[in-house]
Structure 1
């Protein structure tokens, strides 16, 4: 089998309603815009797709395919995913590819394989579970009272835990984290995500409050450029750290976080920031060898498959971006997400210009 077509289709990305923020100074939702679907076809009729849902995605991906990817992929064997995964990293050495583009081809190839064999991708990856608990991952709300109300609604809807994205003010956020723990009691799992809003002194201050409140993990308080800063943070706080979400290099960079002692809870795995399905699974196996967690990041459809395939992940991350909480359609009343059953990753092959992603994506990030 050979790849005979490499195409990009434009799709409409629906806006979040209402719009939301991650923290002060960091926008969350984007206005309605264009996304892009990478479509791979073969001489035997097998097809695979992968979605890039970011502002400017169509122009960026079209340019990459026309200038770089199409020439590399035409005539290639779509089942040689390992070779093609390494080839993308070779191309990155020259072209400095955008981080979300590093795993896009790999994700489309896994989708193609699943469709070809008539199996969902999580089963091709070995399959570990058929359901996983979901936590409510909040956007940033206006007040402590609003956060507490969102937490109450989320727990009433079945969510198994709460993760905060707060204001990016270490002292105000610390007070919120303590208030939430007092409000929900000692048994509800709580997590905090700093969205890279702090320097080391403020990250230490907030981390000590999270330790006091017995949070499960402390995620991305600082930009992930400096592993030594995370090493210092790990030495100064008791709260377990979840790291390596946005740093370049997939498992290669993740390994250095682990070696430095900075991953005291675990590391992040995802397709869109960590090198596709292949990169995410490398990270999961690496973390497992150190008895660490590999928590799957985000609500995209490929991440449903990762959650079912990775033994050392704990939860599915479900975004809650409105003060009126509506449970994500993939989460049931018991707070569980169940394994996909359709072949491949489940995006429809017919997505193209003018189509909407409304049925297939959660809140745009």
Structure 2
């Protein structure tokens, strides 16, 4: 089996609801879908969802990286994934989203070739994992109303609350949500680097008694010393998110005891393969992981779900990044059963493009 053509589509989809976090407000998804075409008729799908604030990657740069990688991948056997990724190593630190698109597509092809879901290729550890929903930064009344609605839907086993702009309001919102959803419904918080270390500690101490399972990235990503400082003093376990881009980052964080959990996002780390490297480091260190996401389509979301279900290291998921898109270019992949997230047993990602995007790929010229 050889890769004979590579195609890349630009995708722009409005969000029906904006998502406000400490560093940005999201109103639209902009990214790319990648297709690897083989001489056997099998095709692999991947997705690149660049995030400038977290990864310093632009749409233009991601498109250029996808184009530049194509000659190095075309003609390869897609099952020789690590050999291909070695050729793409120069882009690992500068174009993680583009690398993720290629890597996810290679895994999709591997699953289709083996007639197995990616979950089972990774390890097939579990069939389902508790589903989570995120509430962005909103006023107090909106936050509480959304939390009550999420719990009442029965589709989610946990709520994440975004914080990081107004410490006093953040504390009030968290306590109000806890009162509204009851004492046992799982909650955690995410400040998206919004505080300095003293401010982070004040907020976390003020949340003592609110039953918060963990807090994500309270301080700037590059300030590992402050993350460690907060982690040493916080009454709530600390999860590193924006600080984790590479296996080297993960190794440094676990060595310094800067956190109690790692949030691994495929678009941030360069795909499934490098995510598995990070999970292996966490497993050796005895630290659990969560699988998160950017705003993504079912292609990227399914890839994250397969990793979460395949590995025993993953204890939480945050894979709601596509629920508020105005339309979906693909179907399949993840499934919701009660408040649990699972994937189909179809080979590979288990995702199918809709007719519009199938036709767009059919008419798209291959990258040269």
Structure 2 counterpart of 1:16: 15
Q: What is the CA distance between 1:168 and its match in structure 2?
A: 1.6
Q: What is the CA distance between 1:37 and its match in structure 2?
A: 1.5
Q: What is the CA distance between 1:77 and its match in structure 2?
A: 2.3
TM-score (norm 2): 0.83
Matches within 5 A, 1:61-140: 61-66=62-67, 68-89=68-89, 91-92=90-91, 97-140=94-137
Q: Distance in 2 between matches of 1:174 and 1:104?
A: 38
Q: Distance in 2 between matches of 1:321 and 1:173?
A: 25
Q: Mind listing any 5+ residue stretches in structure 2 that lack a counterpart? A: 52-56, 325-331, 362-368
1:347 paired to 2:361: no
Structure showing the higher strand proportion among its residues: 2
Secondary structure at the aligned position of 1:50 is classed as strand
Secondary structure at the aligned position of 1:182 is classed as helix
Deviation per residue, 1:253-294 (Å, 9 max, x gap): 111111111122x10122111221111112222212222111
Secondary structure at the aligned position of 1:15 is classed as strand
Structure 2 counterpart of 1:360: none
* Higher normalized contact order (CA 8 Å, seq sep 6+, divided by chain length): 1
Of 166, 169, 175, 1:169 maps to 166
Q: Distance in 2 between matches of 1:86 and 1:210?
A: 45
Deviation per residue, 1:14-52 (Å, 9 max, x gap): 2111333224x521222xx65322111223333212012
Q: Distance in 2 between matches of 1:109 and 1:320?
A: 22
C-alpha distance 60-197 of structure 1, shift in aligned 2 (>3 A): same
Question: Which ranges of 4 or more aligned residues in structure 1 deviate by more than 6 Å?
Answer: 55-58, 320-323
C-alpha distance 99-207 of structure 1, shift in aligned 2 (>3 A): farther
Q: Distance in 2 between matches of 1:320 and 1:186?
A: 27
Structure 2 counterpart of 1:225: 222
C-alpha distance 347-171 of structure 1, shift in aligned 2 (>3 A): same
Q: Distance in 2 between matches of 1:276 and 1:318?
A: 15
Considering only aligned residues, what root-mean-square deviation do their CA atoms show, in Å? 2.7
Matches within 5 A, 1:44-63: 44-54=40-50, 59-63=60-64
User: Is contact 1:136–1:320 with CA below 8 Å preserved after alignment?
Assistant: no
C-alpha distance 320-209 of structure 1, shift in aligned 2 (>3 A): farther
TM-score (norm 1): 0.84
Q: What is the CA distance between 1:199 and its match in structure 2?
A: 1.4
Structure 1 counterpart of 2:147: 151
Aligned length: 339
User: Is contact 1:304–1:340 with CA below 8 Å preserved after alignment?
Assistant: no
Of 27, 30, 33, 1:29 maps to 27
C-alpha distance 257-145 of structure 1, shift in aligned 2 (>3 A): same
C-alpha distance 57-167 of structure 1, shift in aligned 2 (>3 A): closer
Secondary structure at the aligned position of 2:14 is classed as coil
Q: Distance in 1 between matches of 2:322 and 2:117?
A: 29
Q: Distance in 1 between matches of 2:162 and 2:309?
A: 25
Secondary structure at the aligned position of 1:14 is classed as strand
Structure 1 counterpart of 2:364: none
Q: Distance in 2 between matches of 1:313 and 1:321?
A: 20
Of 203, 208, 211, 1:206 maps to 203
